[in-house]
Amino acid sequence: MSVDTPNPRFFGHLFKVDDRPFYYCANTQEMVSLEPPLAAAIEHFGDLQRGVFPEVLKGRFTPAKIREALAILETVPESEGLFAKGWPRLVSAEPVEPRLGRPDRPLQHLILTLTEDCNLRCGYCMHGAGLDWVRPHRRRAMPKAIALQAARYFLERCEDKERPTVSFYGGEALLQVDVLRAVAQEVRRHPRGRHAFLVIDTNGVLLDDEIIELVTEHRIHLQVSLDGPQWIHDRQRRDAAGNPTYGTIMKSLDGWLSRDPEAYARLRFICTVVPPTDLLELDAFFGNFPLFAKHGIEAEPGLEVNMANLRGQNWPATKAEIQDLGRQLRDLRARYFAAVAAGRRDDLGPVVKGLIEPGLLKIHHRNRGLVADTFTPGGNCRPGVRKLHVTVDGRFQPCERTGDVVFLGDVESGVDAQAVDRLQQDFFREVHAECSRCWALRLCRVCYAGWAEYRRPGKPLPRELCDMARRSVEEDMQLLVKVLELPENARGYLEDFELT
């Protein structure tokens, strides 16, 4: 039962949980427990249909048991849709209309890269690694006129029922505080922007009194890159002169929390994990964040935990250090389940939950409806819809993670429908070979950003990326099955989350 090789007959996937067989049906999106003979019949269906009884089954099951299992496979699909043998026909996304702002799918999130310059030189940063698909660090900044034009474009087309989001990105966005201030003022003056989320992605080093006053006045949220305690953070996150940054960041945040008692509610951290590290120490650090303790704040800080993308980089970690990180991740999953099973999920720290729960919740809240006759790969990502990234020179991209190779138009002419259609067609052609027989088609996490990183123009998407995606989905399914088998009072938290 290989994770990487789709069953050639059934639109689904066999997997094991504690050596018990389960089946994920991609047709219905159900996960069902199987009796061993039925699992064996699915795994060896091709041979059995040809009248061949595989050697591996002899001594394990009688021919009568296998015939009984085959009969189930022939009858269940008609009544329940399980064990479907038909696969949907893959189709490209429909052509887009020339303008955005359609009432069915308005814009929701604008990301402005204010500068490509940065005052840090983090060891794992892709922009300093000489990769051919991402821009390097360079002294290019977004003119104020372009920033304001992009903001107005967004405000004219954003959703007015939900709170829109405007993010300031870099480089280091705080290097362009005058432009940032002008955009914040423009957004707050607009009826749709009065209650918008304004978010600055920052390394936190430049958070001085002027910026504290700005973020307080306009109720701006901060997403601060902080990789953990000093010995972990300063190992990679240093300034351009090689100096450590942990102390400066903590001092700046201390000042903000001192001046604004509500600041903690608008503070969120981005923690990037690189080997070697200690995940439990990271968990303890953010679970008992020193500055929150100092200011009497009982809440945990908001936290997003990401594994560093080291693909293509000459990373110095040893094989043993990389293997140790894998061991820590497996131990964390075991620790997570043990705590949930004991009714102690609230005792888990934010790093444990941040590494495990996003994928777990996505699987749990999957669409349970039957698959249609046709299916469009790419998940919820549709270029130019809901989310829009604007580069320093005013060009549009689907998001900030699509490198320096994918563009959709610009602030002068708007979204170019033909460019979007070409992008969607290129994506479809290059993912089709892998997607057409993939059991994880409806759960896939490979979006346009992953495609942009791995793509070889005109060639199929590398199997490497899809194998990683399938393994990740299977690990989350295995854990979810175990959690769902727990009493309701232990697993009820799964229903408390809404996916966005």
Say if residues 173 and 207 touch (Cβ distance below 8 Å). no
Mean pLDDT score, 91-103: 65
Mean pLDDT score, 162-181: 97
Q: What is the pLDDT of residue 456?
A: 84
User: How far apart are the C-alpha atoms of 313 and 321, rounded to whole Å?
Assistant: 16
Read off the tokens for 24.
Answer: 């994920």
Q: What is the pLDDT of residue 457?
A: 85
**Which one-letter DSSP state was computed for residue 240?**
T
Say if residues 427 and 451 touch (Cβ distance below 8 Å). yes
User: How far apart are the C-alpha atoms of 178 and 174, rounded to whole Å?
Assistant: 9
Residue with tokens 């189930």: 72
Q: Is the pLDDT of residue 5 over 50?
A: no
Say if residues 415 and 99 touch (Cβ distance below 8 Å). yes
Q: What is the pLDDT of residue 121?
A: 95
* Torsional sign, CA 63, 66, 68, 74: negative
The answer to whether residue 378 is domain-embedded is no
Q: Write 465-469 long-range contacts (CB < 8 A, 24+).
A: 466/434, 466/438, 467/3, 467/4, 469/440, 469/444, 469/445
> What's the pTM?
0.91
**Which one-letter DSSP state was computed for residue 239?**
B
Pairing of strands 221-225, 197-202: parallel
Q: Is the pLDDT of residue 104 over 60?
A: no
The answer to whether residue 216 is domain-embedded is no
The answer to whether residue 100 is domain-embedded is no
The answer to whether residue 226 is domain-embedded is no
Could you report the per-residue pLDDT of 27-66, keeping only the tens digit for each?
999 999 999 999 999 999 988 988 899 899 998 999 999 9
Mean pLDDT score, 342-369: 95
Q: What is the pLDDT of residue 87?
A: 85
Say if residues 146 and 92 touch (Cβ distance below 8 Å). no
Domain count, the chain: 1
Could you report the per-residue pLDDT of 403-419, keeping only the tens digit for each?
888 999 999 999 998 99
Q: Is the pLDDT of residue 3 over 60?
A: no
The answer to whether residue 295 is domain-embedded is no
Pairing of strands 20-25, 12-17: antiparallel
Maximum Cα interatomic distance, the chain, rounded to a whole number of Å:
79
The answer to whether residue 285 is domain-embedded is no
The answer to whether residue 377 is domain-embedded is no
The answer to whether residue 244 is domain-embedded is no
Per-residue confidence at 103, pLDDT binned at 50, 70, 90?
very low
Say if residues 164 and 110 touch (Cβ distance below 8 Å). yes
Could you report the per-residue pLDDT of 186-212, keeping only the tens digit for each?
999 999 999 999 999 999 999 999 999
Q: Is the pLDDT of residue 498 over 60?
A: no
Region for 197 from its dihedrals, namely left if φ exceeds 0, alpha if ψ lies in -120 to 50, beta otherwise: beta
Name the residue range of residue 65's domain: 1-86
Say if residues 57 and 44 touch (Cβ distance below 8 Å). yes
Per the prediction, the chain carries an average pLDDT of 91
Q: How many angstroms separate the first and last alpha carbons of the chain?
A: 33
Could you report the per-residue pLDDT of 461-493, keeping only the tens digit for each?
889 999 999 999 999 999 999 999 999 999 999
What is the percentage of the chain residues whose pLDDT exceeds 70?
A: 95
User: How far apart are the C-alpha atoms of 240 and 237, rounded to whole Å?
Assistant: 10
User: How far apart are the C-alpha atoms of 301 and 298, rounded to whole Å?
Assistant: 9
